[in-house]
Amino acid sequence: MQDLALAQPLTTLSDEETMFRDAVREFAESSVRPYVSEMDEAARFRPELIASFFELGLMGIEVPEQFGGAGGSIFMATLAIEELARVDASAAIYVDVHNTLVNNAVRRWASTEQHSRYFPRLTVDLLGAFALSEPASGSDAFALETRADRVEGGWSLTGRKFWITNGAEAGLFIVFANTDFSKAYKGITAFLVERELPGFSVGKKENKLGIRASSTTELILEACRVPDENVLGPVGQGYKIAIETLNEGRIGIGAQMIGVAAGALQAALQYTRERRQFGKAIADFQGVQFQLAQMATDLEAARLMVYNAARMKDAGQAFQQQAAMAKLCSSQTADRITSQCLELFGGYGYSKEYPAEKYYRDAKIGTIYEGTSNMQLQTIAKGMMK
């Protein structure tokens, strides 16, 4: 039986893309997989692996070469995220958020001076985080209450941010705050907040169901003084920066989810070949084969949607609707495939000694973060109504 979990559509990849994908796959298998269970159990990611991401050039895939990056594409980032997620979703998230959210926003919206100040550090050793969500501001992202008051030479930020990925390790945070509540969402502004700034601190780390090794924290800003030169983009344009950045981020989430689904399917294929009942491997039963075939078909469809959204973005075409579709489809597909995978493992699927339960836990977040499934449906519907 062919290993369908790895049978990706090679005809859509150039030689360069294939070599890059294979290199990331080899790294994930040799350097990440040995520590997956340990990191999940401890809810802590090994810092030397983050350092390896930088050393391998995985933290500056789309950053132009003049700024120390690889000058690659979102499609290349998609391949890297997918391959890492196939082994460990937490590993993929560090690379995903840093590339599709932080580097993307800085690359597109930062001034020339900010580029020289933060690049190439963002491609060498400075991990980033994207801080939009708040306790009362989730799907209604622009109801945020963090305020930015004008002070001499800059701004004073006060508020709390929740669910901040990479929060425990990041050194640079893109923080969204409102500079003028009378203008509603048009007062929202993005700030580049360095971890060492007075008045800034990292709060509690969430104890999560899945992606446990990835840090998710609270941020606390208590009259945090941010100089004028750290405003990202025009004052009052933070809502535009957030929306446009998250559009690309949804492709990254899609890549995570097809990676998780591929890892689960690969594990199910291996287990069903080895597990024997009634005198033969359970993979020889037609009922099991049909389940595996359906999982493989669903995965291939989701993968092509994610790849298509990435290709459209790289081609300069409007991709927002396709990115929302890709995230919606891939997260739902990962949810189904990982659940079916766990069932194929039977009682062993419920045990932490086998990988099925972790893939199942890791998949669930895909329907929630960077826009719930309902928010993706709203985006798709709006595009259809235009």
pLDDT of the chain, 386 residues: tens digit per residue: 455 555 555 457 999 999 999 999 999 999 999 999 999 999 999 999 999 999 999 999 999 999 999 999 999 999 999 999 999 999 999 999 999 999 999 999 999 999 999 999 999 999 999 999 999 888 888 899 999 999 999 999 999 999 999 999 999 999 999 999 999 999 999 999 999 999 999 999 999 999 999 999 999 999 999 999 999 999 999 999 999 999 999 999 999 999 999 999 999 999 999 999 999 999 999 999 999 999 999 999 999 999 999 999 999 999 999 999 999 999 999 999 999 999 999 999 999 999 999 999 999 999 999 999 999 999 999 999 98
**CB-based contact 59:122 (threshold 8 Å):** yes
- Topology, domain 4-124: Butyryl-Coa Dehydrogenase, subunit A; domain 1 (1.10.540)
**Which class is domain 128-236?**
mainly beta
**CB-based contact 87:31 (threshold 8 Å):** no
The answer to whether the predicted template modeling score (pTM) of the entire model surpasses 0.75 is yes
Q: Where are the domains of the chain?
A: 4-124, 128-236, 240-385
Q: What's the first-to-final CA gap in the chain, in angstroms?
A: 46
Locate 66 and state its tokens: 């003049």
Indicate if 370 belongs to the active site.
yes
Report the C-alpha gap between 174 and 156 in whole angstroms: 15
**Which class is domain 240-385?**
mainly alpha
CA angle at residue 142 from 207 to 385, to 5 degrees?
110
Report the C-alpha gap between 34 and 226 in whole angstroms: 41
Pairing of strands 128-131, 172-178: parallel
**CA distances from residue 381 to 237, 322, 366, 386 in whole angstroms, order as listed:** 25, 12, 20, 9
**CB-based contact 204:217 (threshold 8 Å):** yes
242, 260, 247: which is closest to 337 by C-alpha?
260
Q: Which residue of the set 83, 134, 357, 370 is catalytic? A: 370
